[in-house]
Homo-oligomer: A and B are copies of this chain.
Amino acid sequence: MARGAWNRDSSRAGEETRSQLIHAALALFGAKGFDATSTREIASAANANIASIAYHFGGKEGLRAACADHVAEQLGRIIGDVVLKSDPGGDPDKALKIIENAISSALGFLLSQPQARDIASFVMSEINRPGAVFEALYTEVFEPVHTKICEFLGLATGRDPKDEVIRLGVFTFIGQLLYFRIGHFIVARRMEWETIGPAEIEAIRSVVLSNIRAFVAANKTGAGS
């Protein structure tokens, strides 16, 4: 199924409906899962007609693909732009600072934006499903962002960005971030937090950033290895 090749949308009203369908679908797919969400629910939530899904996206699968495109674009703006457009200019300290900023803003987005939960759930359910959605997310978001952070981490530690330790290290950073979104309820319960607000995010950020600095210190060339 080709993505985004369904309708030419000659009118503005069509674009509006199309957009509302994507947003409603993303929220429902994220909250309940793709299979558990019926096209009737989506249309109802988007104040649109059931048949409009087939008209705009060719069917439920087309809507899933459109959601993936939307998510890739969103993530590109939120994470990608911050990371991809930063330039440490060869300064290791600046490189570490950029990584810290990227982690901070990613953490803020993941834990304070209501839409982040649905986006994260949607992405999480798609990254274990080999297919067009995975390919789009990987090549458009994961690969470029990971590569760029490896570049910065390589600079910060004085190692080759392609070094296995660097590439795996970046994944351990991402894992730490993500868990506080995935295990949201577990964390809140165990920490005895009613909600995860600014103060709680700050506590998490502090620990994660400390871990990243510890990684850099432990893996710096000349400082042991």
Residues of A within 8 A of B (CB): 32-36, 121, 124-125, 127-128, 130, 134, 138, 142-143, 146, 164-165, 167-169, 171-172, 174-180, 182-187, 189-191, 203-204, 206-208, 210-211, 213-215, 217-219
Q: Are A171's CB and B187's CB within 8 A?
A: yes
Cα separation A128 to B125 with both chains bound (whole Å): 12
A201 to chain B, nearest CB (A): 11
Contacts of A177 in B (CB 8 A): 175
Contacts of A130 in B (CB 8 A): 185
Q: Are A185's CB and B134's CB within 8 A?
A: yes
Q: List 6 A-B contacts (CB under 8 A).
A: A164-B203, A167-B190, A168-B203, A178-B182, A210-B215, A214-B217
Cα separation A183 to B183 with both chains bound (whole Å): 15
How many copies the complex holds: the figure is 2
Q: Are A180's CB and B175's CB within 8 A?
A: yes
Q: Are B179's CB and A174's CB within 8 A?
A: yes
- Residue of B with least CB distance to A179: B175
Q: Are A211's CB and B214's CB within 8 A?
A: yes
Q: Are B125's CB and A33's CB within 8 A?
A: yes
Q: Are A191's CB and B207's CB within 8 A?
A: no
Q: Are B143's CB and A207's CB within 8 A?
A: no
Q: Are A168's CB and B204's CB within 8 A?
A: yes
A185 to chain B, nearest CB (A): 6
Q: Are A178's CB and B180's CB within 8 A?
A: no
A194 to chain B, nearest CB (A): 14
Contacts of A185 in B (CB 8 A): 127-128, 130, 134
- Residue of B with least CB distance to A37: B35
Q: Are A207's CB and B128's CB within 8 A?
A: no
The 3 closest A-B pairs by CB, nearest first: A175-B179, A35-B36, A214-B214
- Residue of B with least CB distance to A147: B190
Contacts of A125 in B (CB 8 A): 33
